[in-house]
Amino acid sequence: MPIYEYKCQKCGREFEVFQGISDKPVEVCKYCGGPVSKLVSLSSFHLKGSGWYATDYGGRKAPAAEKSEPKPPEAKPKAATESSTTTAPPNEKKE
């Protein structure tokens, strides 16, 4: 059940009420009986783990990626224009 915060307009007290979404909002202060208004507050709901914006797409690198060593450059494959036949060293004859 969600927790809603209210503030009394008469005595100034703030209080929380556990209410279902379909329940009627509180209209009177539980301390003095004065009128109340609903407050807007930050949610304490936080998504944790992989797969959420905060962990995967937030613009920060993962700690494991920062600590990893740089990879050596990969060997480039031979160009397709080179001949596939072997060449003899300069001092040897080709058979």
Residue with the bigger pLDDT between 30 and 41: it is: 30
Residue with the bigger pLDDT between 42 and 66: it is: 42
Q: How confident is the model at residue 30 (pLDDT cuts 50, 70, 90)?
A: very high
Q: How many CB atoms lie under 10 A from the CB of residue 18?
A: 9
Residue 84 has a pLDDT of 53
Sheet holding 14-18, edge to edge: 14-18, 3-8, 36-39
Residue 54 has a pLDDT of 56
Going from the N-terminus, what domains does the chain have, and what CATH number goes with each? 1-44 (2.20.28)
**Share above pLDDT 90 across residues of the chain, in percent, rounded to a whole number:** 35
